[in-house]
Structure 1
Amino acid sequence: MTEQTALVLEEKGKLSIRDIDLAQSLGPDDVQIAIHTVGICGSDVHYYTHGRIGQFVVNEPMVLGHEAAGTVTAVGDRVSHLAVGDRVCMEPGIPDMTSRASKLGIYNVDPAVTFWATPPIHGCLTPSVVHPAAFTYKLPDNVSFAEGAMVEPFAIGMQAAAKANIVPGDVGLVIGAGPIGVMTALAALAGGCARVMIYDVVAEKLQVAGQYDGVIALNPAQPVETQVLEATGGWGADVVFECSGHPSAFKTLFATPRPGGCVVFVGMPVDDFRFDLVAAQAKELRMETVFRYANVYDRAIELIASGKIDLKPLISGTFPFEQSVEAFDRAVEARPTDVKLQITLPG
């Protein structure tokens, strides 16, 4: 065991920066990484405020953080594609590569997957981690650590766009203008959508999303279905991404896609909800679900490096590691102008 300073969720509602024993054994297929930047995810905040997400319960102290970038400081004997000094980002989920899910290419739904900061697995808000080289990706020189730490949430948008099977020229709609919603809109544009409408009840979030070319912020004071139908000549959007996870969004969700269109469920509702299945059947809608991502990290990095996707405007604040608790408390505030908060570590 190796003792390191980390941001530890002691129990629901209690965070501390302290030393904790973490397993840090470097295997032949692993790399050791000095963490530079970590993003605060909504799941991190939910564990902090609620102590659980569904079946995953914080029963013992757990290090938070899973959106990370850093520098390789050591490599295992069998690692050839990375070297000491490489700047990297990491896919936080580690599957069993011999599982049936992994062999099918859907390793994100491998029942044996371990994921940073998902009980009982520790996260990466600590100076150094050991991670499989196969899930560690070199950052191009023009991609900053801050952008590298944004690859993880952007990968969710990439997964959603891939599941939608977008046809060039499609019209998209995103419900929910949080970090995942905005990044899903950007991924949908990169995937071929001619334009993407985005809707939220918080005007400030829509202002952030609307700054991007091709993203059309709808009026939060008007029904989303009315605006979508008006914008499409009464036809509806070709692809709809539900990214809010809010039960109210499902009341009129199936009024927004066109007949034969696609709805991709990205947001995860915390509370029970109902939706009108007959309305979906009457349009023969194709419905897809998203759980994290698989096989998209490389393409996400390529898009960021190309300049076609600029995630820098979504970074609302950066805190030094010693102010990690303050950073999480601000995240709990859920300021309407905040999109993504990040923490930087020394060294």
Structure 2
Amino acid sequence: MPTTVDSAKAKNLSFVLEAVHKVKFEDRPVPTLKNPHDVLVNVKFTGICGSDVHYWQHGSIGPFVVKEPMVLGHESSGIVTEVGPAVTTLKPGDRVALEPGVPCRRCEPCKSGKYNLCLHMAFAATPPYDGTLAKYYILPEDFCYKLDDSVSLEEGALMEPLGVAVHITRQGEVKPGDSVVVFGAGPVGLLCCAVAKAFGASKIIAVDIQPARLEFAKKYAATGTFEPARVDSTINAERLRSEHGLGRGADVVIDASGAEASVHTGIHAVRTGGTYVQGGMGRDIISFPIMAACTKELNVRGSFRYGSGDYKLAQDLVATGKINVKELITGIVKFTDAEQAFAQVKEGKGIKTLIAGPDN
């Protein structure tokens, strides 16, 4: 169990990862505004992402290693409590969704419009930067998105995974009438299905090895589902195309799983000249069906976080009713039960669990 503090007296209660499997609640100083364009946000809800759980379980993701105590969390919404003197678009009391990665704005990727690829990105809960599982968090005003009156703070916390799904689907250039296959029916995969539907895709097939997730996907946004068998990927791809009338293959295939078998099946399931998007992250190195990718002249694209316009579009899709994110929320836990919530997510329980802010 994590070390606890008196939450009633805490000024800025934070959920801190000290080492692998070792977390604590710590009352940290309330951050102060140092940049005139920054705002101070009272965090109200935070979703648990797989990366948060991975840091808790392993202490690192690729080159990002937890060397000092780090506040977890990056899928958050909250209420503005203070603004810098240069802030013009927000005021205290505004409800906002937080985009948790702040780019340098000066490197070549930033200047070319690809700030998600910033060489000096400061991303919440990615070492050495603290995350949002705290009472207060500071961000620049342009990375805080004022929520429409029709969008709740709970929904606001899902703008982060929805922003990821918007970026992935944009990378696939999904357009009206397209057939789309999405591998992985976790939160991001389900949201990719929803975004593809909002973009006008006529056929959306969700693929997963868990029947319960496929059942949810069919009710949520997919027009069909597919459960692969433990056979060669070419056989699964052929059955997928046949069962869902995809002919030569899908126009767009999205992998939101990171599983090597899904990558193989997806490359074989996309049509000649189609687009394959890798959104899920698995092992650093996997085998890849390079012959199929070459002879089919596929457009193979990666996808990383979110870029310009993705968060705004995510909120617009929710505010206009084109995407319902409420259905993905399967539980809200107290801040002091954060570690228990992490354990439930690790065990695959529910779809999206939210942690209420310390004073919620």
Q: Does 1:163 align with 2:171?
A: yes
Q: Work out whether residues 178 and 339 of structure 1, in 8 Å CA contact, stay in contact via their aligned partners in 2.
A: yes
User: Which amino acid counterpart does residue 336 of structure 2 have in structure 1?
Assistant: E
Q: Does 1:326 align with 2:340?
A: yes
Which deviations, in whole Å up to 9, do the C-alpha atoms of 1:150-207 show, x marking residues without a partner? 0001111100111111231000000111111111111111122112101000111111
Other-structure match for 2:327? 313
Q: Which runs of 5+ in 1 are unaligned?
A: none
Question: CA separation in 2, counterparts of 1:216 and 1:124?
Answer: 36
User: Which amino acid counterpart does residue 77 of structure 1 have in structure 2?
Assistant: P
Q: Work out whether residues 34 and 71 of structure 1, in 8 Å CA contact, stay in contact via their aligned partners in 2.
A: yes
> Secondary structure of the equivalent of 1:240?
strand
User: Which of 213, 228, 241 is matched with 2:254 structurally?
Assistant: 241
Other-structure match for 2:151? 143
- TM-score normalized with structure 2 length: 0.92
> Secondary structure of the equivalent of 2:12?
strand
Q: How does 1:183-332 map to 2 (within 5 A)?
A: 183-221=191-229, 224-230=236-242, 231-295=244-308, 296-332=310-346
User: Which amino acid counterpart does residue 328 of structure 1 have in structure 2?
Assistant: F
Q: Does 1:66 align with 2:80?
A: no
Number of aligned residues: 344
Question: CA separation in 2, counterparts of 1:165 and 1:243?
Answer: 16
Question: CA separation in 1, counterparts of 2:344 and 2:158?
Answer: 19
Q: Does 1:102 align with 2:114?
A: no
- TM-score normalized with structure 1 length: 0.95
User: Which of 18, 37, 52 is matched with 1:44 structurally?
Assistant: 52
Larger CA deviation: 144-153 vs 215-224: 215-224
Q: Work out whether residues 228 and 237 of structure 1, in 8 Å CA contact, stay in contact via their aligned partners in 2.
A: no
User: Which amino acid counterpart does residue 127 of structure 1 have in structure 2?
Assistant: K
Q: Work out whether residues 70 and 129 of structure 2, in 8 Å CA contact, stay in contact via their aligned partners in 1.
A: yes
Q: Which runs of 5+ in 2 are unaligned?
A: 1-9
User: Which amino acid counterpart does residue 32 of structure 1 have in structure 2?
Assistant: L
Which deviations, in whole Å up to 9, do the C-alpha atoms of 1:323-347 show, x marking residues without a partner? 1111112112223xx1111100114
Question: CA separation in 2, counterparts of 1:312 and 1:221?
Answer: 31
Which deviations, in whole Å up to 9, do the C-alpha atoms of 1:245-274 show, x marking residues without a partner? 012223333210011100000001125310
Q: Work out whether residues 247 and 271 of structure 1, in 8 Å CA contact, stay in contact via their aligned partners in 2.
A: no
Aligned-residue offset at 1:227:
3.6
Q: How does 1:29-40 map to 2 (within 5 A)?
A: 29-40=37-48
Q: Work out whether residues 31 and 133 of structure 1, in 8 Å CA contact, stay in contact via their aligned partners in 2.
A: yes
Question: CA separation in 2, counterparts of 1:85 and 1:217?
Answer: 43
Q: Does 1:25 align with 2:33?
A: yes
Aligned-residue offset at 1:20:
3.2
Other-structure match for 1:339? 351
Q: Work out whether residues 172 and 240 of structure 1, in 8 Å CA contact, stay in contact via their aligned partners in 2.
A: yes
Question: CA separation in 2, counterparts of 1:332 and 1:227?
Answer: 31
Q: Work out whether residues 190 and 221 of structure 2, in 8 Å CA contact, stay in contact via their aligned partners in 1.
A: no
Question: CA separation in 2, counterparts of 1:90 and 1:153?
Answer: 11
User: Which amino acid counterpart does residue 167 of structure 2 have in structure 1?
Assistant: Q
Larger CA deviation: 66-75 vs 220-229: 220-229
User: Which amino acid counterpart does residue 351 of structure 2 have in structure 1?
Assistant: V
Q: 1:220 to 1:253 in 2, by over 3 A?
A: closer
User: Which amino acid counterpart does residue 324 of structure 2 have in structure 1?
Assistant: D
User: Which amino acid counterpart does residue 108 of structure 1 have in structure 2?
Assistant: N
